[in-house]
A and B are shown apart, each in its own frame.
Chain A
Amino acid sequence: MKLLMPVEVVAARHATPRVLHLTLRPTKRAAFPAFRGGAHTILVLPDGKRRLYSLASDPAAPETWDIAVLHEPEGNGGSAWLHAEARPGTRLLASFPQQNFALAEGAARHVLIAGGIGITPFLAMLPELERGGADFVLHYCARSRAEAAFLPELEARLGPRLVPWTDGRRLDLAALLAGARPGTHAYACGPARMLEGFSAATTHWPDGTAHLEHFSGLRREEAHQGEAFEVEIASTGEVLPVPADRSLLEVLRDAGHPVDVGCEYGACGSCLVEVAGGEPIHRDVCLSPEARRTRMASCVSRGKGRVRLEM
Chain B
Amino acid sequence: MAGSYPWGGRLIAIHIAEQASVEMEELQAARMIEGVGIEGDRYATGRGTYSYKPHADRQCTLIEMETLEALQRDHGLTLEPNESRRNLTTEGVPLNHLVGRHFRVGEVVLFGGRLNVPCKYLDELLGRPLFNPLLNRSGLNCRIIQGGVIRPGDRIEPV
Contacts and interface: CB of A to CB of B under 8 A. Distances in A.
A131 interface: no
A274 B120 contact: yes
B126 interface: yes
Given A256-B52, A258-B49, A258-B50, A2 B22 contact: no
Contact of B124 (A6, A256, A272): A272
Given A1-B127, A258-B119, A6 B49 contact: no
A144 B18 CA distance: 44
Contact of A2 (B21, B53, B83): B21
Contacts of B19: 4, 93
Interface in A257-291: 258, 260, 272, 274
Contacts of B121: 258
Interface string A1-21: 111111000000000000000
Given A310-B120, A311-B120, A6 B22 contact: yes
B25 interface: yes
A2 B125 contact: yes
Given A272-B124, A311-B120, A5 B49 contact: no
B19 to A, nearest CB: 7
Interface in A1-56: 1-6, 28-29
B21 A260 contact: yes
Interface residues of A, number: 16
Dominant secondary structure of chain B at its interface with chain A: loop
B107 interface: no
Contacts of B124: 2, 260, 272
Contacts of A93: 19, 22
Nearest to A1: B127
Given A2-B127, A3-B125, A6-B18, A28 B119 contact: no
Contacts of A311: 120
Nearest to B128: A1
Interface string A280-311: 00000000000000000000000000000011
Contacts of B119: 258
A258 B83 CA distance: 18
B39 interface: no
B52 A3 contact: no
A258 B119 CA distance: 10
Contacts of B120: 274, 310-311
B66 interface: no
A3 B50 contact: no
Nearest to A271: B124
B25 A1 contact: no
Interface string B91-130: 0000000000000000000000000000111001111000
A49 to B, nearest CB: 14
Contact of A28 (B21, B23, B126, B127): B23
A74 to B, nearest CB: 29
Nearest to A26: B23
A56 to B, nearest CB: 22
24 contacts: A1-B125, A1-B126, A2-B125, A2-B126, A2-B127, A3-B21, A3-B22, A3-B23, A3-B83, A3-B125, A4-B19, A4-B23, A5-B22, A28-B23, A28-B25, A93-B19, A93-B22, A256-B52, A256-B53, A258-B49, A258-B121, A260-B124, A310-B120, A311-B120
Q: Which 10 A-B pairs rank lowest in CB-CB distance, beginning with the nearest?
A: A4-B22, A3-B23, A4-B21, A258-B49, A1-B127, A2-B125, A5-B23, A28-B25, A258-B121, A1-B126
Given A2-B124, A3-B21, 8 more contacts: A1-B127, A3-B125, A4-B22, A4-B23, A28-B23, A93-B19, A272-B124, A310-B120
